[in-house]
Amino acid sequence: MRYNDMNLLSCLLGKRCLEGPPPLDLEQSRLVADAWQGLDPHQMWDVHAHLAGVGDGGSGIWVHPRMQNLGHLSPLSMLMLRLYQRAGCTHLAPGRQDHAYWQRLESLVDAFPPGVKIILLAFDYFYREDGCCDPMAGTFYVPNEWARQLAAKRPDRFGWMASIHPYDPYWEKKLHLISQWQPGPLAIKWLPQSMGIQPDSARCFGFYQALAQLNLPLLTHCGDEKATHGDAPADWNAPSRLAMALDTGVRVIVAHCASLGGAKGKQDKMGYFGEFMTMMDNPRWKNLLFGDISATLLVNRRPEILPTLLSRVDLHPRLLYGSDYPLPAACFISVAQQLQRGLIHKKQAEILQQILPYNPLLFHFLLVRWLNYQGIGFSPQVFHTDRFFSPFKN
Ligand SMILES: [Zn+2]
């Protein structure tokens, strides 16, 4: 068994969903406190956190039946749902999972210094190219209203992003209505393959024009997607398909810096990530194209990705901190792997292992904050994501 497999196994079998502060000694507590030096918590927004549940709390959340019962004979999908339920600690609250997910998230963020905020993501249904909504071709749905409601409950800790499908015949009406809501959405969220969106299709052009007009950014998943199945082609997640959005003047955040996979048949070993970096270097999109660093630490990412992002200090003002919660709690990040690669040191690794079962959000923040490649860590600008949204704050 490889080192990473052992790490995964001990994470899966280990304790989780613990409450209260993690048991750290004085020196460990000092190291954690030092991680905030040079950062202003009031400027720190986690730009990528998912809302999950099963729709048992009036949230309107919908999950594909293949994830919930054996009738669909999809044990892998069911396993994925179990994994996310355990990550979000909702397995402890049968019958009230939607609220348990929210309560856990609220208590995790409340352990951060005042000012730190999380942006919750809504998630629209899959639509076919003929404009028909086809939920069964996707995986899940999180209503805009649920994300807005939660953000409104705790405006000191949460913001939200809406999700509207550009093939929805009513997209224009919805977009204009939602942009009037209070608190307003900070951006629009897409996952092209899982929602059935071809971002370079001419039918997205009007949507991009409306976004540019409303000054509403687009956060869109790029790179291979493993967590949520969708019937659309995988290469709809290619960053190069965003050229039209950018050329229409939309500010685009490429989720995960497109850090997984690549177009079939292409020789470039850096794949979609290489494509994203080439686009970042295109002066035409300097003020429009951004990347969120969530999921770049997952065990399935190429080892060159983090050193590249860390050492490109010139791009740090355009990289945005995100956790992709609940993934940090789902055992997809290996502290041992980062230690082996020399990106963190042993004392930090020990602290991270202690913190993970108590607070996976804090675990993720500290790990990202401590990453160090040849003396270079992520600049404070990467964490100070508030600046990206400040023109849109309510
Ligand atoms: Zn995500």
pLDDT in tens, 231-290: 888 888 999 999 999 999 999 999 999 998 887 766 567 899 999 999 999 999 999 999
- Position 232 scores a pLDDT of 82
Measured in Å, residue 50 CA sits from the centre of ligand 1 at 6
Q: Which residue has the tokens 């990473």?
A: 4
Cα–Cα dist 175/95, whole Å: 33
Cα–Cα dist 228/64, whole Å: 10
pLDDT tens for 289-335 read 999 999 999 999 999 999 999 999 999 999 999 999 999 998 889 99
- Position 237 scores a pLDDT of 92
- Is residue 3's pLDDT more than 50? no
Cα–Cα dist 157/257, whole Å: 25
Residue, of 357 and 66, whose pLDDT is higher: 357
pLDDT tens for 39-52 read 999 999 999 999 99
Task: Tell me if the bond preceding 94 is cis, omega within 30° of 0.
Answer: no
Measured in Å, residue 25 CA sits from the centre of ligand 1 at 33
Which range has the worst mean pLDDT, 61-75, 182-196, 209-223?
A: 61-75
Measured in Å, residue 45 CA sits from the centre of ligand 1 at 15
Which range has the worst mean pLDDT, 20-34, 53-67, 137-151, 350-364?
A: 53-67
Percent of the chain exceeding pLDDT 70 equals 93
Measured in Å, residue 227 CA sits from the centre of ligand 1 at 8
pLDDT tens for 177-190 read 999 999 999 999 99
Judge contact between 216 and 187, C-beta under 8 A: yes
Question: Which residues 6+ apart lie within 8 Å of 20 measured at CB?
Answer: 358
Phi, psi of 389, deg, nearest 5: -100, -10
Percent of the chain exceeding pLDDT 90 equals 76
- Position 86 scores a pLDDT of 87
Rounded to 10 deg, the angle between the 346-355 and 360-370 helix axes is 160
Here the tokens at position 255 are 């989720």
Cα–Cα dist 206/366, whole Å: 41
Judge contact between 256 and 268, C-beta under 8 A: no
Where residue 76 falls among pLDDT bands split at 50, 70, 90? confident
- Position 90 scores a pLDDT of 87
Contacts of 27-34 spanning 24+ positions with Cβ under 8 A: 27/347, 28/347, 28/350, 28/351, 28/354, 31/347, 31/348, 31/351, 32/351, 32/355, 32/366
Measured in Å, residue 198 CA sits from the centre of ligand 1 at 18
Measured in Å, residue 49 CA sits from the centre of ligand 1 at 7
pLDDT tens for 159-168 read 999 999 999 9
**What is the residue-averaged pLDDT of the chain?**
91
Measured in Å, residue 386 CA sits from the centre of ligand 1 at 19
Measured in Å, residue 30 CA sits from the centre of ligand 1 at 31
Measured in Å, residue 390 CA sits from the centre of ligand 1 at 22
User: What sign for the dihedral angle of Cα 279, 159, 50, 177?
Assistant: negative
pTM to 2 decimals?
0.94
Q: For domain 40-392, give the CATH number.
A: 3.20.20.140
Where residue 10 falls among pLDDT bands split at 50, 70, 90? low
Task: Tell me if the bond preceding 192 is cis, omega within 30° of 0.
Answer: no
Buried b or exposed e, range 338-350, using 16+ CB within 10 angstroms? bbeeebbeeebbe
- Is residue 6's pLDDT more than 60? no
Give the mean pLDDT of 359-386.
97
